[in-house]
Amino acid sequence: MVLSAKTPWGYLCSYLEDTSKQGRIDEIDADEDIALVNTHDNELQDEGIEEVEEEEVVEVVTTAKMLIDTIVNVAQVITAIVDVSVSAAIVEVVTTAKMLKSQRKQKQKLLLHNNLRFWIKVKGMQNLLKNL
């Protein structure tokens, strides 16, 4: 049987569940140790924070901007080098493809020529055998 808020049992279970949670929440709120842990965590979080002057903040931000600019410039140089390498590789591939195409045509012609010579020899042998 499935309990949902649409069935009478579902209403009863959801009511009982809500009240039991409320009791636990009240117990947690009343527990001093838990409240102290929460306060202690907040104190630790604030520890180490000190007042800094505006000059120091500006100096840190300026240094960060300079580092970012340097990193961006280096990245642009690396990208330019990669672009040049890729362009050179594309030219080489196209050139190689053209060479392979011309070599393939030459091989086809040579193969055709060799096949033709073979058939001429075969026909010649057939004619020779017929004449015997």
pLDDT of residue 92: 60
Domain span including residue 28: 1-45
The verdict on residue 83 lying in a domain is no
The verdict on residue 73 lying in a domain is no
* pLDDT tens digits along 54-107: 666 556 667 777 777 777 666 666 665 555 555 555 556 556 666 667 777 787
The verdict on residue 86 lying in a domain is no
The verdict on residue 76 lying in a domain is no
Number of domains in the chain: 1
The verdict on residue 33 lying in a domain is yes
Q: How many residues does the chain have?
A: 132
pLDDT of residue 1: 46
The verdict on residue 125 lying in a domain is no
pLDDT average, residue stretch 38-58:
59
How far, in Å, are 12, 41, 54 from residue 47 at the CA level? 48, 10, 20
Percent with pLDDT over 90 in the chain: 0
| E-only strand ranges, the chain | none
- Average predicted confidence (pLDDT) for the chain: 64
The verdict on residue 112 lying in a domain is no
| Measured distance CA(10)–CA(1) in Å, rounded | 10
